[in-house]
Every structure is written in structure tokens, then in C-alpha cells.
Amino acid sequence: MINNTHNDVRFDAEIPTGKTGWKSPSNIALVKYWGKKPVQIPRNPSVSFTLSKAVTKTEMHFSPAQGKEMKVRFFFEGKQNKTFEKKTQHYFESLLPLFPFIGQLDFRIYSENSFPHSAGIASSASGMSALALCLCDIEKRYFSTFNDEASFLKKASSVARLGSGSACRSLYGGCTVWGETPEMENTSDLYGIPFNALHPVFQTYRDTILLVDTGVKKVSSRAGHTLMETNPFATARFEQARSHLDSLFTALKTGDVETFIRISESEALTLHAMMMTSQPYYMLLKPASVAVIEKVFAFREKSGLPLSFTLDAGPNIHLLYPEIIEKEVDVFLQKELPELVKQKAIIHDKVGNGPQRIVL
Ligand code: PMV
């Protein structure tokens, strides 16, 4: 028996056949989320840049359910994908209390990424946020439950979080904060909120993604988060993240690129240090990742230019730098990493404006 009420809103209108679609970006964390409590509650607050080109485009076609149960068909990059289908079916079932209308529909989902799958770009962030936006859009269209854009995005962020924690940071342009912190008002463990005071230097910041290795992930992020439950350094790490967040907020507001580099590089290395000091332990960096990091250090030392890096839970490198040194970084890539340039294993991304509707 479906309960058709949520937050005193009755969800009993009949939904006809229709479609919606959203393009939603990935994001790269500057202070990392690594370690969580049920249900997708972060052990520490995190902050990220929203990307611009690394996006998922998702079209959701819905129609009255043919059978007794809601059914999901999932087509990824033109082909039916049983793995995504199962995951999405499961995710949608878990969302029934939040969207009771899901139970009366069948879904056909068409999704594609602008970047190679398993490229170490958080495809779950762009993918889950696009799905959450589509569902909120159906709710908005047929139940008029949202008073304004802010409440729409808040629910989308919270729903995206339930699919993949970091996905809740993909709903806003620029920079997003997720997790309760005294350093900023209105923050929550349940959803991300936009960081509204981003200094202009960071509004056009570049993220050049170097795909040094595109193999399958050695450890899923779910398993990685679980490892933090027994990591002997976990408590100190969560405290460090809070203090990093405090310093980084000031740097992001004032345009202090030097502090930005010191904190974001330390965060990247700490994330990997946590992986190396867990039980079982993992080494996710490749020799090529370390070589690139050393080249970044050497370039910065020699040129005095603010080129830095961050990492996700994998071997690929995100080069971060202000727009103004784009030419110099290009020369650095040609000279120091000609193989990657030749293999086109480089994605030139930058801070972006957040999701966009693609189906009216
Ligand atoms: O959103 P999840 O559960 O895939 O976790 C992502 C964790 C990192 O990408 C490693 C860090 C982060 O904050 O995005």
C-alpha cells in the first residue's frame, strides 16, 4: 500500500505520459568528504568546485505503470545498461517515501556522460544529481509543492545525496558547501548550499583533468567510506577537515590563492593517506600520478605561478589554476606531459554554472 502523503502534501494526482531532462555537472572536492554515518551523513563538512564540461545529460520518460510495480529501463550512452537499471530501480524504491508518485509510474531513462566512464571523474555526482532534478521536476509539474527555486534545489540536493553523497554538491554553480559547520550559516548535513562569497579569481578557476590511468576503480567509494570507521587516524582526520574548511573559506572569499593551494593539496594527499593507512590498505596513485605531482611542484617552484593539483579517490590528477595563467599551463603540458597531450587524455574544464534543464 503506497502512502501518498509526504510533509502533509497529498501525491494522488494522476500523472500522464511525459518527459523531463537535465544536464548536471560533476564537482571536484577541495575539502574532501571521506567517511560517513547512515544515511549518507558526512563525518565532516566538505566544499567543492562545480565543473562545467564534465556533465551527465539525462532524459527521463515516464508513463503510468503497466504492471503492479514501478519499472525502470536504463539506457546509458545509447545501450540498455542492466547494472544502472538495477541500481536506479533500487534507488527509486528507496525514494518512495519522498516521492510517493514514483510508485504509479514506469521510467525509461536515457543518460550520457561528456567524459569517459571510470575516468576518475565523479560520474555518480553528475548522474545522481541529474536523476534527482528529473524527479523533483515531475513533483514540481504535477504537485506544485515547491514555493521557490531554492526549495526545489534543496530537495534535489538532498535526494541526490541519498544516491551518492558528493552528488548533493552538484546543484549549484561556483562552489558548494555540504555539511553542518559553524563557519557558515544555513549549512546542513542533509544537503549542499551555494558558497555565495566566492572571490572572482576562483569564479573562473581552471580544472585540467589529466587521465593518467582510466582503469576500473580498485576500491568503490562505498568501501572507502567504510574503511574510515576503523582507520586509526579517522578522528584526527575529521578534525583536520574542519580546520581546513575554516582556512579555505577565508581564502575562497579573499582570493588568497596561496592558502587555497596549501589546503587543497594537503586535502588531496590526506585522502590518499587515509586509503594507505586503512585496513585493508590501498594504493590508488600510479607512478605517473606521482610524476605529475612532482612536475607541478617543480613548475611552481621555478615559475612562481600558482599551478596546483587535487585528486579524487583514484590516480587521475586535477590541475587547478587561475584563468590568467592558462597559456603558461598550456606550455607546461606540451613540454612536460607530451604523451598525455598526444593521447588526448586531457579534459580542459573549469568552474561552472550548475545544472540546466534540457527538456522543456
Ligand atoms: O559521493 P561518494 O560516496 O562517491 O564519495 C566521494 C568521495 C570523494 O570523491 C573521494 C571526495 C568528495 O568529497 O567528493
What does the pLDDT profile of the chain (360 residues) look like in tens digits? 345 566 655 566 789 999 999 999 999 999 999 999 999 999 999 999 999 999 999 999 999 999 888 899 999 999 999 999 999 999 999 999 999 999 999 999 999 999 876 556 667 999 999 999 999 999 999 998 999 999 999 999 999 999 999 999 999 999 999 999 999 999 999 999 999 999 999 999 999 999 998 777 788 899 999 999 999 999 999 999 999 999 999 999 999 999 999 999 999 999 999 999 999 999 999 999 999 999 999 999 999 999 999 999 999 999 999 999 999 999 999 999 999 999 999 999 999 999 999 987
Tell me how far apart the alpha carbons of residues 7 and 272 are, in angstroms, rounded to a whole number.
Answer: 41
Query: With contact defined as beta carbons under 8 Å apart, do 322 and 22 qualify?
Result: no
Query: With contact defined as beta carbons under 8 Å apart, do 52 and 87 qualify?
Result: no
How many Cα neighbours within 13 Å face the side chain of 196? 5
Candidate from 33, 123, 178 with most ligand 1 atoms within 8 A of CB, to mutate:
33
Q: Which amino acid is at 135?
A: L
Give the angle 134-138-139 at the CA atoms, nearest 5°. 115
Question: Given the CA of residue 167, which atom of ligand 1 is nearest to it?
Answer: 1
Phi, psi at residue 314, to the nearest 5°?
-170, -175
Question: Given the CA of residue 46, which atom of ligand 1 is nearest to it?
Answer: 13
Ligand 1 pocket residues where CB is under 6 Å: 29, 32-34, 46, 122, 124, 164-166, 221, 271, 312-313
CA 40 to chain centre: 14
Residue nearest to atom 4 of ligand 1 (CA): 221
Question: Given the CA of residue 164, which atom of ligand 1 is nearest to it?
Answer: 1
* pTM of the shown model: 0.95
